[in-house]
Amino acid sequence: MQEQVFREFLISKRTKLSQFVRKGIGSLRDAQYDAAQEWASVAVPKGLPLKNGKISDGNKSYYEKPGQNSSSPESTKMVLEILEKIHKFHKDGK
């Protein structure tokens, strides 16, 4: 059920993430950035802007605010590992 919700609803509203997952189009960095805009626990890649206009150091939530909405290293690592597997799947054609 969770996979179906992810596949049919959440991913479809994030264009770059959707194209990366479904077709292997785009970069891992762009897919992570889209994921970070959907889930506060996923860090924005280093050098990209947060919602407040500040630039991420690679460890900040898109919605970063003092005392709330911080990213999680564990969540970020998990998402990156999944995105890397998806990238490999599309690259290897398997």
The answer, yes or no, to whether residue 2 has pLDDT greater than 80, is no
The whole-model pTM stands at 0.85
Q: How many angstroms separate the Cα of 79 from the Cα of each of 6, 24, 53?
A: 13, 16, 23
The predicted model gives 18-29 an average pLDDT of 91
**Quick one: pLDDT band at residue 25, thresholds 50, 70, 90?**
very high
Q: How many angstroms separate the Cα of 31 from the Cα of each of 5, 15, 48, 49?
A: 18, 9, 12, 14
User: Does residue 47 sit in helix, strand or coil?
Assistant: coil
**Quick one: pLDDT band at residue 22, thresholds 50, 70, 90?**
confident
